[in-house]
Structure 1
Amino acid sequence: GGAARAQRVSVDGLFVKRLKDILAVCVPGWLSKEALLVAFQAVLLVSRSVLTDRITTLEGRCGETITSQDFSGFIRVLIRFALTAIPASVVNSILKAMQALISVSFRRRLTAHLHKSYVANRAYYVASNLGGLSHADQRITEDVEKFCFNIAELYSYSFKPLIDVVLFTRSLARVMGYRGQLALYLYFIVIGGFLRAISPPLSLMTAQESALAADFRASHSRLASRSEEIAFNDPPAGAAERLALDCTLDRLLRHNVLSAYQKMVQQFADGYLVKYTASCIGLVVFAVPLYMKPPDSRGTQSEITRDYIRCTRLMMNTATSIGQLVLVYKRITTLAGYTARVSELIEEVAELSTVRGLAHKFQPRNGKEVAAAFDSPKMLVGDTIKFERVAILSPDGDVLVRDLTFEVERGRSVIILGPNGSGKSSLFRVLAELWPLQGGTITRPSRKDMFYLSQKPYVFKSSLRDQLLYPRYPSVVGRSQAGSLDDEVLRQCLCRVELEYLLDRVGGWDSITDWDAMLSGGEKQRLAMARLLHHRPTYAILDECTSAVSADGEVILYKALSDLGITMLSIAHRVNVKRFHEFAITFDGSMSDDEPNWKLERIHDN
């Protein structure tokens, strides 16, 4: 769906509908802050046009007083001109600030709306791991910002010129009538159609440039996130990565160069036809009627100077405003590119935030065969973790485990063994509903009674206290929902995992540092275990969460869990942790359709 929508980037009915839907998010009501900002800017834009008209009148009178050598009159007009320039300067400066404020307000509304859906039902996981949405980070940050900037700018560059044309046409009519201006307006209508016909597809070019920039950024992100694996094989891995980076950069820059040449030709046509040729026509429109009058009815030299200066200023401003209206299609087509990407983002995130959206992205090739081969999928809530004839499938439809049936009763821990790729971690993903259940019944406790630890522990740049309190709100957000903040309890959790030295190393509970860079892999895994000990869930779901810890340290961590009475469902490879479990389930990794590819055995009796 997203790929198909991405092809349609043009100014059409779909663009209007998408823009209307996005603006409904940015401006939620007539009395909202954003609506008031837009209304206030409209008042300022009208004020600016009125002040511009007033200034052109005073400029004409200044020319009249100079030509007639009326020095006292010149001083009076000059003082009025200087006084009028004060509010004009204030309005101009406020308009710039208002445009920025509208852009920021729209961005806050739109980004908050996206965040709400993006973190709902773990849509961020589907987007990043199941191919649900490409470059979500770039779209939420850069594309949203560019859309808000362009829509705020478009408002100023369309509403203001429209007011100028209406007001200045009325003022010009007092001097040269409406007939002379009609020729100028007809010229702009013809030229506007011609320029639109020769204009390059700016909306499509904008969308393509954003996509290519996202690819280039993703290439560098991949290099940064996989730097160690690449460095181990460098040379020649570094040269291979440089070639990949250069290729993505070359595609982006080729597109930029082509766009620059196309825009250069377009800007030449715009500048010559809209600005300079229109000015020539405006001068002819003023001069020809004047020369056709009898000399005695043309007025005095000072009056002609006054009218010439005023008409010239007004026609120049009118030509500029009409030119902006003629060229507003360029801004609209550019906006259409960002509108398409932001709209696709909103639509995809809204879909991914639903269970139906997850199931759609996780659709095996042989979906009908899977539905017929296994029991109907059911997720139930109960007191224990229980699997009944469960089928575990990979995202591409391969059956990893079939007819899996066992129960993890409280106080009777289970360890899962097997080769890589046999479905061990996939079982945990289905249990956590990261992957949809394809067949069978799973019963599990509520989320507050289970705690997951993966092989790659999650730490973030915050205080040491926040590392243990996570996933509750960190202290930088607010402690109202952080639960117990008893530092002694937290210190005991660190002692159980042999990390009490961190308090002295970082300077206390509230010291903020980049834990991901400061801690080793084993220390991060032990810190995650301390987090689990603090929350003391009924069940701990452990996916090789001690793989970077020494064998002796691993025994200490599992013993700490056992001493607290936490029931474990573990994936581990070391033999020395099996004694903390009562049952072992072994996946053999076979793809046989005839026999179960797993077995359950008791390790020891309690």
Structure 2
Amino acid sequence: MNPVIPLMLVGTLFGFAVGQTYISKYTGIILANVYQSFTTGDKKLFYESVFKGLGVIGVSALFDSSIQFIVALMGWNWRKTLCFYIQNVYFKKSLFYKIIAFNDNIDNPDQRITSDIDKFTTLLASIVSNCITGPMVVIYYTYLCYTTIEWYAPLIVYAYFFLGYFVNKLVISPMVSINYLQDKLEGDFRYLHQRVRNFSESIALFNYSKNKSNKPKRKTSDASTTLRKSDSVDFSEESADESTVINRKNRTPFTKTGNTKSSISEEKRKKLEEEFLVEERQAKIQFESLLANKKRVIFWNFGLTTTSDLFTYLSPLVNYFIIAMPVFFLHTKSALLPAEVTVQSYNCIMLASGFSQYINVSTNISDLAGFISRISSMIEVCSKVLNDDSYETETSSLNEKDGSNDSLNQEIHVNTTNRSIRLNQGENIILDDITYFTPKGNQLFSNITVCIEKGKNLLIMGPSGSGKSSLIRVINGLWPFFKGRINRPESDKIFFLPQQPYLIFGELEEQILYPLSKKDKRIPKKQLRELFARLDIDYLLDRENFIKKSAQINDLTHNWLNSLSPGEQQLISIIRLLYHSPQFALLDEATSSIPQSLEEKVYQIAKELNITIISVGHRVSLLKHHDNLLRFDKYKNWFFEEIDHNQ
């Protein structure tokens, strides 16, 4: 950012502060003239004072609004600078993934970048404004109090507000940690509801099936237990929640009939029903923690506001005491004229208001300290992770001496002391004595030495949680937690498809172009429809066109994640793969939600496009689409074998 801009804003703010401070002097003089016109009956003086007052008030209002405008611009400019700075670091070298997956020192980084920075810069601009205008008022009215009263006037005001500052400081200190915790709890609570929004359908389906299974069964075998028609329970879906409550302890149904009162109170019934939803219970627990800490914030703010307001409201009494000193205590004057009292009183009040700005700012400083702690820790952790070599994988290109053909006859040299990824001409992927770990340091599999030939698909199978997906991350360069050497093609020749597809906000064309954008490249409409038609989902293009033409408010082209089935999402992700046509594709159960008939078509099309696929999956049907099998077992053993399609 150009440093001239903030300097100009601060300079302009300083100029307006000087103007506002100087013009405020005439307000006291005008008030004195108005009071004098009342005591003398001078009508002309009264009208002159009123008209001059209108001009002074207008200019003062212009200065005040201009100061607020400059403060808002300063906050906007600082937010722009700070947010761009953190985002530039946050998106560098996939840092956003590393601090979430490998580092647990930062909670809610999204909140720190968005909400915390906004509040921090807004508060900081306000504090800077008060720190500029406050000294102006203090210096100028110290001089006026000294000249219109005596030396003791500014001295008493100084002593009074220094006392107020130290009292407020005692209250502020504990509030820093309390406000820091409050921001964390607010972020956690927001994130919990964000998860409910993202997984709303799954949550609703789970709880709908649970509620259905908890319905009591109607007994018809025993006539003595058969309900009369007038007392029968409505077992329809609409009334299930009102008619039936299950005691979760002994699974006893409580029914509410037409003529009989419920055996439990309405409050108890609602309480039991509330226990059914896990997410609601989690939200309540999180919200209760948030409210408990918020109560602490409210009580501490009460103490801080009380002390701040006490010193503010007592300032007029201190003002009158100062004016009364020459008459009642020092006996240097027998009386004061009304106009003289007005000017002296106004000067003392303005001097007190200059100090009051510092006292009132103390509340903002406690909040600011919490934001500073959260934002600075975010910057610190980002810088630490970014410069930590343990999170980086050495990547280099093979020279002619090392051999760039990567043929099957090439000797594989074991290297257990270093970790590196060496980039070749894109023929094969070679794992050279690979031992890899979790981010916590737990070893998964060791000494894996295999060659994945171009044109021969590899299937990785094994128990859930054994480390299949972790190996994919290691090959892709996302995980640096391994020993040995990987020899593979350039990154732009390898494509990764996760089980949960990533769909951006945008049109279907943008989904297929990703990670490119429409600025980089465009897909002709005919080619786009051919891609979708090959996997029998070209109807999505018609749906998108209908949405565009009807101009619906709920634009599905910007929210495909919530409007498509898991299978449709995976198919869009596969079309993205087919469009980019890399040499190697890493599929981490990327076909688990589509029918086997379409799955077979996907592997057939990939073969036609010369895409070599490394799949992670559990389906036995995947075997026929692969040439080699890398199998893991629960004892940390691995086996590499050729798949015999003749059996």
- Sort the TM-score into its range (normalised by shorter chain): 0.7 to 0.9
Structure 2 residue 545 is matched with structure 1 residue 501 = no
Following the alignment from structure 1 to structure 2, what is the Cα–Cα distance between the partners of residues 262 and 471?
49
Identify the residue that residue 342 of structure 1 maps to in structure 2: 375
One-letter amino acid of the structure 2 residue matched with residue 406 of structure 1: V
> What corresponds to 1:150 in structure 2?
123
Gaps of 5+ in 2: 212-247, 249-274, 394-414, 549-554
Distance 1:210 1:165 in 2: 35
Contact persistence 1:422–1:587 (CA under 8 A): yes
Alignment equivalent of 1:393, drawn from 417, 420, 437:
437
Residue number in structure 2 paired with 1:284: 321
Quickly say closer, same or farther: Cα 1:98–1:583, change in 2 above 3 A.
same
Q: Do structure 1's residue 566 and structure 2's residue 611 form an aligned pair?
A: yes
Asked if 2 retains the 8 angstrom alpha-carbon contact of 1:416 and 1:572, the reply is yes
Paired position in structure 1 for 2:44: 72
Calculate the TM-score normalised by the size of structure 2: 0.79
Give the equivalent residue in structure 1 for 2:26.
54
Kept in 1, the 8 Å contact 2:531–2:575? The answer is yes
Q: State the Cα RMSD in Å.
A: 2.6
For 1:497 and 1:353, the matched residues in 2 are separated by 41
| Residue matched to 1:87 | 59
Q: Does 1:580 align with 2:622?
A: no
Shift of 1:77: 2.6
Map Cα deviations across residues 322-346 of structure 1 (whole Å, 9 max, x no partner). 1222454443333111101110011
Determine the structure 2 residue equivalent to 1:521: 566
Kept in 2: contact 1:423–1:589 (CA 8 A):
no
Q: Is the 8 A contact 2:180 2:371 kept in 1?
A: yes
Structure 1 segment 236-255 matched on structure 2, within 5 A: 238-255=276-293
User: Aligned equivalents of 1:134 and 1:42: distance in 2?
Assistant: 39
1:461 is the counterpart of 2:505: yes
2:14 to 13, 22, 42: 42
Deviation at residue 228 of structure 1 after TM alignment: 5.0
**1:354: Cα distance to partner?**
4.2
Q: Secondary structure at the match of 1:167?
A: helix
Superposition map of 1:32-431 within 5 A: 33-132=5-104, 133-199=106-172, 201-227=174-200, 230-231=203-204, 232=206, 234=210, 238-272=276-310, 274-290=311-327, 292-295=331-334, 304-354=337-387, 356=389, 358=391, 374-382=416-424, 383=426, 384-431=428-475
Query: How many angstroms apart in 1 are the aligned matches of 2:383 and 2:615?
Result: 34
d(CA) in 2 for partners of 1:357, 1:94: 51
CA distance in 2, matches of 1:526, 1:191: 67
How many Å apart are 1:104 and its aligned residue? Answer: 1.9
Asked if the contact 2:32/2:342 (under 8 Å) is kept, the reply is yes
Please state whether the residue corresponding to 1:402 is helix, strand or coil. Answer: coil
The amino acid across from 1:451 in the alignment is: F
Larger helix fraction of residues: 1
Secondary structure class of the residue paired with 1:459: coil
> Which of structures 1 and 2 has the bigger CA Rg?
2
Output the amino acid matched with 1:308. V
Give yes or no for contact 1:351–1:357 (8 Å, CA) kept in 2. Answer: no
Cα distance in structure 2, aligned partners of 1:165 and 1:91: 18
* Letter of the structure 2 residue corresponding to residue 412 of structure 1: K
Q: Secondary structure at the match of 1:390?
A: strand
Of 595, 600, 606 in structure 1, the residue corresponding to residue 641 of structure 2 is: 600
- State the identity %: 24
2:353 is aligned with what amino acid? T
Q: Measured at CA, do residues 402 and 411 of structure 1 come closer, stay the same or move farther in structure 2, by a change above 3 Å? A: same
Structure 1 residues 532 and 182, CA, compared in 2 at 3 Å: closer, same or farther? same
- Residue 192 of structure 1: how far off its partner (Å): 2.5
- Corresponding letter in the other structure for 1:339: I
Alignment partners' CA distance in 2, 1:379 and 1:396: 21
Q: 1:119 to 1:573 in 2, by over 3 A?
A: same
Task: String of CA shifts for 1:35-75, please: whole Å, max 9, x gaps.
Answer: 32232222222222122222222222222233222222332
Question: Residue 427 of structure 1: CA displacement?
Answer: 0.7
Change (3 A) 1:57 1:158: same
Q: How does 1:1-16 map to 2 (within 5 A)?
A: none
Shift of 1:199: 4.5
SS in 2 for 1:378: strand
Distance 1:334 1:118 in 2: 25
Match of 1:370 in 2: none
Q: Do 1:391 and 1:439's aligned partners in 2 also have CA atoms closer than 8 Å?
A: yes
Shift in Å at residue 30 of structure 1? 3.2
Given the alignment of the two structures, is residue 536 of structure 1 paired with residue 578 of structure 2, yes or no? no
Please give the alpha-carbon distance, in whole angstroms, between the structure 1 residues aligned to 2:285 and 2:618.
41
Higher relative CO (Cα under 8 Å, sequence separation at least 6) belongs to 1
Task: Rate the CA distance shift 1:329–1:413 in 2: closer, same or farther, 3 A.
Answer: same
2:191 counterpart SS class: helix
> Letter of the aligned partner of 1:74 in structure 2?
F
Question: How many angstroms does 1:226 deviate by?
Answer: 4.4
Matching residue's letter, 1:122: S
The verdict on how the C-alpha distance between 1:58 and 1:85 changes in structure 2, with shifts beyond 3 A counting, is: same
Residues matched between the structures, number? 549
The one-letter code of the counterpart of 1:287 is A
Q: Structure 1 unaligned runs (5+)? A: 1-27, 361-372
